[in-house]
Each structure stands twice: as C-alpha cells, then as structure tokens.
A and B are shown apart, each in its own frame.
Chain A
Amino acid sequence: MVCQSCVLACQLNSLGVSDVMEIPREGNPIQRMRVTFSRGTPWVWKCQHCISAPCVEACISGSMHYREGESGVIHDRETCVGCGSCLMACPFNALIPDESDDRVAKCNLCPEEGIPPCVKACQSKALVYQESGLFAQDKRKKFLLGQKVYREGD
C-alpha cells in the first residue's frame, strides 16, 4: 500500500479547496496523478516534464509547450481541442482525458501555488520541487560523494 497523500493533495487543489473538511459531496476532481505499484515499487503516474517532450511535438493546437522559466511542460486548457494526440505520444501514460469537457488534464506544476501541494504533502521527501538543472547538479554531487540517489522514474 502507498500513502497517496500527494494524490489527495492534487485532487483537493483541482477542486480549489485546501482542507478535506471542505470537500464537496458532489463532483469528482480531475486526477492529474495516481500512484500504483510497479514491480513492488510505488510509481507516480504523473507528467515527468520531459525536456524534449513527445506530447509537445504531437500537439496540433500548440496548447502543450515547454516553458523554460518553470522547467516544465505546461498545458493550456483554453486552446486544447481534445484531439488526444498527446495521450498517444506520452511514453509515461501521464496524461488523462478529462471527460467533463473532452480535453486533456495533466500536471502543470501548480504555478499559482509556489511549491506544488503534492510536494508539500509528501512526508517522505520522495517528491521534490527543484529546477531540473539544479536537481541534476545535486545528483552528480551526491554521486561523487558516494551516496545513491533516486528520482521518481529512475
């Protein structure tokens, strides 16, 4: 079993509430991430924010783009036409069709929140929020110091 705190935090954010006591009885949130076991290890099914992202290449409306400043692949729901090309292109199966309006939903790193709620909720520090360049630098440093480091997806 996995703790799933990140998933709940993400769902609460998509509903626009900050506390479980405020969850409305009706309506389901968009599931932008999910956690399952893969060969005995918890695996987070969420956007990996690839630098050369296949979904960006596949997007026909230009609603999927890589934003340098945020080091992430951002999806603009306003311009999305719901063609589903990105769904097929994503090697991580991280995009989810949103049946409520026939578009696609994905992790946008919650730019309005500062640190994403899923990272805040993660107590085991399995999820971290860092510039990709910085993360790679830290990883190299730790490797040189002889410590093993894992990032989700490694």
Chain B
Amino acid sequence: MRETKKGNGESPPCGYGSMGLCCSSCLLGPCRISPFERETAEGLCGDSADLIVAKNLLRLVALEGAGELKHLSGTIRKLRPSVSSRSTAKVTADGRLKEIAEKYGVGPRVTAKRFIDYLTEESERLLSPLSESERPNMLLASLYPEGPFPFIHRNLLLPNSLTSLIFETLSNEQKESIAVEGILWQCLRTSMLKFICEELCRDMHYLTSRKRLQESERKALDVMEHLPLKPLPVVALFSREEDLPKEFVTRTTRELKQELKGDVLYLRIRDINTLPNIARRFFQRWSLSVPEVGAIVVAFSQSPASVLGALVCGFTVVSYPTLPIHGSEIAEKFLCKDLKDKVGTVYMPPRAGEVIPAVLELLRGRA
C-alpha cells in the first residue's frame, strides 16, 4: 500500500467509497449518496443506492478480470508465436507435465508438445469472443468438475468465452433497467475470470519455466498432500502485503495461529489461486465439496474478485478490509446471508480486532 495519510491510518478512509456509495458512472458525478438517505436518494442518472453499490462492485471485479485476461493472452502469445502454428515452448520436467496433465484430465502418456498445444488451443478458444455458442470449454470442464465445485455448476457460472464475459459485464454495468441481484450474480460469474486466467497462466509458466513454486505455496500444497483420513475444520489465510500494512498482517497471522487450537488444519497461502487446488484435494481425499468441509478463508485483501472467487469455490470468507457493499442492504443480504445455504458466505468484521473472534466463532459453529 502506498505511503499516504489514508494508507497509514492517519486520516480516515472515505466513508462513501468504503460503503460503495460513490458513483462515477457518468461525467457529471461523482454522485455521493448519504448513507442516511439511501432509501430515497438517487444519483444524477437515477440509480438507487443499491444499484450504485452493485455496479461499483461489478466494475471493480471486471477491472481485475480484464487485467487477468490480458495476462493470459500475453502468456499464450509468448508460448505460441503467431508465425508458427505449433508451439515452440518446451516443458522443463516430466514430473511437472504429469502433475499438470492429470489436473486437466489428460492421460499420463501425452507428450509435452501435444499437451502445450492443447492448453494453448483451448485457452485461445476461451479467449475468443465468438466461441460463446459452441460446446462447453473442455479446459474449464476439467479444471472445475462438478464434484468439488457444485455451486459453480448448479448456477451455470462457468463461461464459454472469457472475453464475452467481460463484454457482458461491461454492458450490464451500463444498463439502466437491471435488478440488483442480477448484477450481483454477474459479479460472481466475473470473479471466476480471475481464478481461471491466473490458474491457466500459472500452469503454463510452471510447465515451461524452471522457476520453482514459492516456499509458502509449496508448504500449503505439502499439507494438502498429507491430509488426514477424517475431514478437519480448515482455516486458510490469504494476504497480499501490498494491500495492508505488513506489520498488521504479521501480527494477526501470528495471533490467529496461536488461537487455532485442537484439530484445525491451518494453511497460509500467498496466491489466491491455490484455493481451487485445495478444493480439488479435499474432494480427492474426503469426497466432500468445500461447502461440505466448511473451510474458512481469512482474506486480508483489497481485491473483491479474490473474495468473491473464493466464495464461488465454496469457501466461507472472512474479509478484511470489508467489501464496499455496506451501502446496500440488498447486496449485503445477498452476499452475507442468502448464499449461506447454497455455498459459503462473506463475513465482514468492521474492525481489524474482530477478525480473529469472527474466525473462532465460525469454527465453534462448525463444531
């Protein structure tokens, strides 16, 4: 986080921004709706407070998704130069090929060249805005199978084309007559973009570069390799140091670790993309989906796409700082209550000191 007065906590954060009540959809704004008049007040365009909050969230998620989309297309371009129709990249180790191929439902006897061609071809199809009406993408079907990710399949959240999803999101953001819930569902769909793109990029890099996984990632995956036979309560802590002061994250992580007593599986993850991998491992080992395990993610992140993506994968998320949805009762109810029976839910402790008590309370509820 930048060294600013707001960043250092010397001056208070913008109340309208943190509630999602500041609308900059048109050039006449920004319109700021008072939280005390949100039932009656409207922006210049006529949007209610609920719509403003939902559209702001959608815009944030779409921005993150678009960034990841660019990253994925750049990675494919590097792997598969346009002059040649075949890949020029080489797989660095057979062990890695076997590991990744298995994840995508490809047999162990596949050659490196054929596998990379398959990955890039299917990713290109995913990126094409015209592939929407075709058959479901094979990559996504194998990456997000129904067993570990029932919520995604039940609600048809897997896109056929990532680019069309961004187009659809942006056009929804501009629509005048659209229901708040509709926008929130679109937020959930679009948050998948971040996970899909990052996971594809990471796997392609992992296959073709000699770079090793980060120590913390390796550790988290090692814990997952040796899961006990009986399901345990799981707490995964995700933080990005650039989002919150390092000192705060270090202290809270230490305190959380001390507080987690008994049989609780604690995971420290630095990359939010580890979550789908974790969900797959749960299913492999325990034949349970994430909502059935009741796994909790503590997200110290200012990325709404990460929080919503974790929710879509079935995790219950304790998010700090909070998502900018407090300005809308509908949005808050949708994400923090209505989804509870179907998938996880989002808990938003208002103060940093309430994060650990919220996690412990959730664990007690699970027990």
A contacts, CB < 8 Å to B: 1-5, 7-9, 11-12, 18-23, 25, 28-29, 117, 120-121, 123
B14 within 8 A of A: yes
Contact of B34 with A7 in the complex, beta carbons under 8 Å: yes
Query: Could you say which residues of chain B place their CB within 8 Å of the CB of A25?
Result: 329
Least CB distance from B26 to A in Å reads 11
Query: Could you say which residues of chain B place their CB within 8 Å of the CB of A3?
Result: 32
Contact of B322 with A21 in the complex, beta carbons under 8 Å: yes
Chain B interface residue count: which class?
A: 20 to 34
B15 within 8 A of A: yes
A19–B17 CA distance with the chains assembled, in angstroms = 12
Least CB distance from A59 to B in Å reads 29
Partner of A19, one of B16, B30, B34, B351: B351
Identity of the chain A residue whose Cβ is nearest the Cβ of B350 in the assembled complex: A21
A5–B15 CA distance with the chains assembled, in angstroms = 7
Partner of B350, one of A8, A11, A19, A123: A19
B11 within 8 A of A: yes
Query: Could you say which residues of chain A place their CB within 8 Å of the CB of B14?
Result: 5, 123
Query: Could you say which residues of chain A place their CB within 8 Å of the CB of B36?
Result: 11, 23, 28-29
Contact of B30 with A1 in the complex, beta carbons under 8 Å: yes
A67–B338 CA distance with the chains assembled, in angstroms = 53
Partner of A121, one of B11, B30, B34, B322: B11
| 6 cross-chain pairs, A with B, having the tightest CB-CB distances, nearest first | A21-B350, A8-B15, A20-B15, A4-B32, A20-B19, A28-B36
Least CB distance from A82 to B in Å reads 23
Question: Can you give 21 A-B contacts (C-beta < 8 A)?
Answer: A1-B30, A1-B31, A1-B32, A4-B16, A4-B32, A5-B14, A8-B15, A8-B16, A8-B34, A20-B15, A20-B18, A20-B35, A20-B326, A21-B348, A22-B350, A23-B36, A23-B326, A25-B329, A28-B36, A120-B11, A123-B14
B262 within 8 A of A: no
Name the residue among A1, A7, A12 with the largest chain B CB count within 10 angstroms.
A1
Identity of the chain B residue whose Cβ is nearest the Cβ of A8 in the assembled complex: B15
Least CB distance from A3 to B in Å reads 7
Identity of the chain A residue whose Cβ is nearest the Cβ of B30 in the assembled complex: A1
Query: Could you say which residues of chain A place their CB within 8 Å of the CB of B351?
Result: 19, 21
Query: Could you say which residues of chain B place their CB within 8 Å of the CB of A9?
Result: 12, 15
Query: Could you say which residues of chain A place their CB within 8 Å of the CB of B12?
Result: 9, 18, 117, 120-121
Identity of the chain B residue whose Cβ is nearest the Cβ of A121 in the assembled complex: B12
B367 within 8 A of A: no
Identity of the chain B residue whose Cβ is nearest the Cβ of A5 in the assembled complex: B14
Partner of A12, one of B15, B29, B329: B15
Contact of B11 with A8 in the complex, beta carbons under 8 Å: no
A117–B11 CA distance with the chains assembled, in angstroms = 10
Contact of B322 with A8 in the complex, beta carbons under 8 Å: no
B83 within 8 A of A: no
Scan residues 24-82 of chain B and give those whose CB is less than 8 A from a CB of chain A. Answer: 28-32, 34-36
Contact of B35 with A23 in the complex, beta carbons under 8 Å: yes
Query: Could you say which residues of chain B place their CB within 8 Å of the CB of A7?
Result: 34
Query: Could you say which residues of chain A place their CB within 8 Å of the CB of B35?
Result: 8, 20, 23
A120–B9 CA distance with the chains assembled, in angstroms = 11
Q: Can you name 12 extra interface pairs (CB under 8 A) apart from A12-B15, A29-B36, A123-B14?
A: A4-B34, A5-B14, A9-B12, A20-B19, A21-B326, A22-B350, A23-B36, A23-B326, A28-B36, A120-B11, A121-B11, A121-B12
A28–B34 CA distance with the chains assembled, in angstroms = 11
Least CB distance from B45 to A in Å reads 12
Least CB distance from B36 to A in Å reads 5
Identity of the chain A residue whose Cβ is nearest the Cβ of B19 in the assembled complex: A20
A19–B104 CA distance with the chains assembled, in angstroms = 46
A4–B12 CA distance with the chains assembled, in angstroms = 13
Name the residue among B18, B348, B350 with the largest chain A CB count within 10 angstroms.
B350
Contact of B16 with A5 in the complex, beta carbons under 8 Å: yes
Identity of the chain B residue whose Cβ is nearest the Cβ of A4 in the assembled complex: B32
A8–B31 CA distance with the chains assembled, in angstroms = 14
Query: Could you say which residues of chain A place their CB within 8 Å of the CB of B6?
Result: 123
Least CB distance from A100 to B in Å reads 14
Query: Could you say which residues of chain B place their CB within 8 Å of the CB of A4?
Result: 16, 32, 34
A29–B329 CA distance with the chains assembled, in angstroms = 19
Query: Could you say which residues of chain A place their CB within 8 Å of the CB of B28?
Result: 1
Partner of A123, one of B11, B32, B34, B348: B11
Bits for B325-355, please: 1 = Cβ < 8 Å to A, else 0.
0100100000000000000000010110000
A43–B11 CA distance with the chains assembled, in angstroms = 22
Query: Could you say which residues of chain B place their CB within 8 Å of the CB of A1?
Result: 28-32
Query: Could you say which residues of chain B place their CB within 8 Å of the CB of A5?
Result: 14-16
Least CB distance from B3 to A in Å reads 16
Least CB distance from B304 to A in Å reads 16
Query: Could you say which residues of chain A place their CB within 8 Å of the CB of B34?
Result: 4, 7-8, 11
